[in-house]
Structure 1
Amino acid sequence: MNWISRFDQSVSVWIKAHLHHPRLSWILSRINRGEMFALVLLPLLFLNPIYKPVYVSLPLVLIFTYGTDRLVLVLKKYFARKRPLVSVMGKVDANPDMKHSFPSAHSANSMIVGTILVFGFGETPWFLLFSLFAGVGRLLTLHHYISDIIGGWIIGFFMGLLGIFAYKLIGIYLL
């Protein structure tokens, strides 16, 4: 586990030295939000020429995203890992959320949406790029370490599979 922390720290220090910029962080923090992704994803769902039961997929995504978000909050409180903004940048903030880094909720929630839509409802695999964008954005703004992002993606993927299983189990009755 110690080597993961050292690797995370070295990647974050490299990002701070070569990629991190206050203006980029400001822009990414504004567009790397669930509401912004929803503005793009919802029209794509409704404009898909192949009929998909959006009245089933959206509630399923919302329920499992909410559950995943609650799980991630419990894990964040348990691990209480300081964000790179604190440990690398030395930022001092009275916000108690600054010590809750692992796992990334943005990565987990975006991955669950992509997993359910792509593997459960046959949407385009391009939906998974939103999860990649969410993770990389959080990495570049130094809100998360690389292991936080990967951990969030893993949690989101498995919760997405659980959502697909639930859909397959009870979805027949909803259609």
Structure 2
Amino acid sequence: MNWIGTFDIKLSTWIQKHLHHKHLSWILSRINRGEMFALVLLPLMFLSDLYKPVYLSLPFVLVFTYLTDRLVLVLKKYFARKRPLVSVMGKVDSNPDMKHSFPSAHSANSIVVATILVFAFKETPYFFFFSLFAGVGRLITLHHFVSDIVGGWMIGFSIGLVAVTVHYFLWPILVTL
């Protein structure tokens, strides 16, 4: 596990020297939010026939995203790993959410949604690019290490597969009610 930490520090230091920029970080931190993903997802869910009835599909996605987010927050408190902004750049932030890095909630939440949309509702696999963008954005802004992003993706994808399994068995029953 020590080699993962060494790799994380080296990559984050390289990102700080070569990719990290104050203005780019500001832009990425504004567009790399769940609200932005919701601006794409909500109209799609209401306009597409894949999500009918929306009063069932929207809460279904929201419940599994909420469960993922809560699990990630518990894990963040347990591991209490400092973010690259703190450990690489020495930046101190009074925001308590800025103190914990592993796993990435952005990565976990974005991939759980993409997994549910693609595998349960037969949406285009291009939705996985939202998750990729979320992870890369968090690396460039130095909010996360690579292992935080990968850990978030693994957690989110696992919960997404549970959601797809639940969808497979329960959706026919729910739709007929």
Please tell me the TM-score bracket, short chain as reference: over 0.9
Give distance in 1, aligned partners of 2:93 and 2:29.
17
Report whether the alignment pairs 1:56 with 2:47: no
Task: Give the structure 2 partner of residue 120 of structure 1.
Answer: 120
Of 89-98 and 160-169, more deviation after overlay is shown by 89-98
How many equivalent pairs are there?
174
1:120-157: CA deviation from partner (whole Å, max 9, x where unpaired): 11001111111111111111100000000000001000
Give distance in 2, aligned partners of 1:34 and 1:97.
16
Aligned AA (2:91):
K
Task: Give the structure 2 partner of residue 96 of structure 1.
Answer: 96
1:173 deviates by: 1.3
Aligned AA (1:84):
P
Instruction: Calculate percent identity across the aligned residue pairs.
Output: 72
**Retained in 2: the 8 A contact 1:57–1:117?**
no
74 and 51 in structure 1: CA distance in 2 versus 1, 3 angstrom threshold: closer
1:93 deviates by: 2.0
Where 1:126 maps in the other structure, the secondary structure is helix
Aligned AA (1:123):
E
Gaps of 5+ in 1: none
Give distance in 1, aligned partners of 2:98 and 2:56.
36
167 and 82 in structure 1: CA distance in 2 versus 1, 3 angstrom threshold: same
Task: Give the structure 2 partner of residue 13 of structure 1.
Answer: 13
Task: Give the structure 2 partner of residue 129 of structure 1.
Answer: 129
